[in-house]
Amino acid sequence: MDGFDLAPLLTPDGWRLLESLPPYDPGQALALGESLRREGHSPALVAAALTQQRLRQRAAAKFGPFAARMLFTPDALEQATRLAVSAHHASRFARAGSRCVADLGCGIGGDALALASLCPQVLAVERDEPTAALATVNLSPFPNAEVRCADALEVDLAAEGVDAVFADPARRSGGRRITDPECWSPPLGQVLGLREQVEALGVKVAPGIDHALLPADAHVQWVSVDGQVVEAGIWCGPLAPEGSGRSALVLHSGADGEPVAHTLTDPDCDNPATPPVQLDPVAGPEDLEGIIHEPDGAAIRAGLVAHLAGRLGAVPVGHRIAYLTGSTPAGAEAAPFVRSWRLVEVLPLHLKALRSRVRNRGIGRLEIHARGVDVSPEALRASLRPQGDAGEVWLLTRIGPRGDGGRGRSPRGAVLVVEPAAPARPPESCSAHPSS
């Protein structure tokens, strides 16, 4: 698994050594390894322990204090659900009154850990034996959680007393993402078929899933954490008290480090499989208003851009472009779901002119966002070689309706130079309410 040998740690001596290590310090890792080998520990054990020490430090961002006693591999850590997101998963099962939850495809146990914290009984199922061993270690503090190495679809749910299922099909093979849900392991269609046995079904899916492939009678929620879209979840039966449709769950780190959650739902959408509404954009650069809104990725994936535009009194800057333009920054109710910028200048998307601007203005700090243009912000920044004390924020995009003979591309590639806009002062009768 990932080429790592964790067997040396799965012994009393190995575990004691791992628990005795100080927090990971890259400057001291080499010296610490040499010291441990001089004390008589085998090179294999030292290598495994130091690797876990490093992975636990990385994992703290996802698992908080739980990371300090868990075991990981690099791939498993990358694919594991963040604890803040898992807690929202688990709360759905708890609110539905689930007694025995089967976590099918549990991986190293990230979701099962949260489920076991809120639900009476959890059966965590993982087909890969080494991964199941990690899950067993990670879930050992929870006597109400059992880990079983088995095929997810071969578990007799009725015989196990399972009344709710959470499934996380494998969406990678050989390190590559699999885009076709019917090629996931197990296939999405077979997972959704479990509803014939258990009404309460939740499925973690790729956030880029085609809306047309979603079940019409489910609620699908896209999730972002600090601006990064991390997943989508299909929720069925009692796990979807909000009813069928689509929503975005936006998690931001609060002042105390704890996540603050906000949920955006389109009340006019009761079928997640319906195509998102597309609004007519401005006619050209001259019609851009003073504010540019940048919706959160979860709202975009959920097809809620048109709903946000209605709330903000804004319109898209271009055909099928998720930047919106309006006259006022977002108020308190919409602010969690968009970032509002004040438009400073509109520039043509010409490399030579942009290089000249960066050089002449001494721009050393350059934040670049892009939507609807075939330009990599990282590659553009590297080619511009920013240097100096000044800073700017650029939004690379297309402006206006669809052009180029109707083939879906517009010749109006542009750079919107923007700066942060202060939020609009809400009316006295309005306030923002974080979701639970």
Of the listed ranges 52-61, 286-295, 420-429, the least confidently predicted one is 420-429
Map the chain to HEC letters: CCCCCCHHHCCHHHHHHHHHCCCCCCCCHHHHHHHHHHCCCCHHHHHHHHHHHHHHHHHHHHHHHHHHHCCCCHHHHHHCCCHHHHHHHHHHHHHCCCCEEEEECCCCCHHHHHHHHHCCEEEEEECCHHHHHHHHHHCCCCCCEEEEECCHHHCCCCCCCCCEEEECCECEECCEECCCHHHCECCHHHHHHHHHCCCEEEEEECCCCCHHHCCCCCEEEEEEECCEEEEEEEECHHHCCCCCEEEEEEEEECCCCCEEEEEEECCCCCCCCCCCCCCCCCCCHHHCCCEEEEECHHHHHCCCHHHHHHHHCCEECECCCCCEEECCCCCCCCHHHEEEEEEEEEEECCHHHHHHHHHHHCEEEEEEEECCCCCCHHHHHHHHCCCCCEEEEEEEEECECCCHHHCCCCCCEEEEEEEECCCCCCCCCCCCCCCC
431 band by pLDDT with thresholds 50, 70 and 90:
very low
The domain 285-420: what is its CATH number? 3.30.2130
Condensed to tens digits (0 to 9), the pLDDT of residues 227-258 reads 999 999 999 999 999 999 999 999 998 877 78
pLDDT of amino acid 428: 45
Most confident among 46-50, 313-317, 330-334 (mean pLDDT) = 313-317
pLDDT more than 90, % of the chain: 81
* 194 φ/ψ angles, rounded to the nearest 5 degrees: -65, -15
Higher-scoring residue by pLDDT: 297, 177: 297
Q: How much is the average pLDDT of 356-381?
A: 96
- This prediction has a pTM of 0.90
**Structure tokens of 13?**
């001596």
Higher-scoring residue by pLDDT: 344, 412: 344
pLDDT more than 70, % of the chain: 94
422 band by pLDDT with thresholds 50, 70 and 90:
confident
What does the alpha-carbon distance between residue 178 and residue 87 come to, in Å, rounded to a whole number? 26
pLDDT of amino acid 402: 78
Q: Is the model's pLDDT at 77 over the cut of 60?
A: yes
Q: How much is the average pLDDT of 130-155?
A: 95
Q: Is the model's pLDDT at 406 over the cut of 60?
A: no
Map 278-317 to HEC letters: CCCCCCCHHHCCCEEEEECHHHHHCCCHHHHHHHHCCEEC
Q: Is the model's pLDDT at 434 over the cut of 50?
A: no
**Structure tokens of 70?**
């868990």
pLDDT of amino acid 405: 39
CA distances from 22 to 30, 353, 374, 401 (A): 13, 52, 46, 58
Q: Is the model's pLDDT at 409 over the cut of 50?
A: no
**Kind of pairing, strands 200-205 and 219-225?**
unpaired
Q: Do domains 80-265 and 285-420 have the same CATH topology?
A: no
Peptide bond before 186: cis, by omega within 30 degrees of 0?
yes
Amino acid at 17: L
Give yes or no for a contact between 249 and 242, defined as CB atoms under 8 angstroms apart: no
Condensed to tens digits (0 to 9), the pLDDT of residues 189-231 reads 999 999 999 999 999 999 999 999 999 999 999 999 999 999 9
pLDDT of amino acid 259: 86
Strand order in the sheet with 390-398: 315-316, 324-326, 291-295, 338-348, 413-420, 390-398, 363-370
pLDDT of amino acid 8: 87
Give yes or no for a contact between 369 and 288, defined as CB atoms under 8 angstroms apart: no
Q: Is the model's pLDDT at 371 over the cut of 60?
A: yes
- Domain 80-265: CATH superfamily, name plus number: Vaccinia Virus protein VP39 (3.40.50.150)
Average pLDDT of every residue of the chain: 91
**Structure tokens of 305?**
């851009």
Beta bridge partners of 265: 247
Give yes or no for a contact between 335 and 432, defined as CB atoms under 8 angstroms apart: yes
Condensed to tens digits (0 to 9), the pLDDT of residues 42-70 reads 999 999 999 999 999 999 989 988 999 99
176 band by pLDDT with thresholds 50, 70 and 90:
confident
pLDDT of amino acid 291: 98
pLDDT of amino acid 412: 65
Q: Is the model's pLDDT at 139 over the cut of 90?
A: yes
What does the alpha-carbon distance between residue 111 and residue 103 come to, in Å, rounded to a whole number? 8
Condensed to tens digits (0 to 9), the pLDDT of residues 80-94 reads 899 999 999 999 999
**Structure tokens of 118?**
């809120």
407 band by pLDDT with thresholds 50, 70 and 90:
very low
Nearest Cα to 81, choosing from 171, 143, 148, 151? 171
Map out the domains of the chain as residue ranges.
7-65, 80-265, 285-420
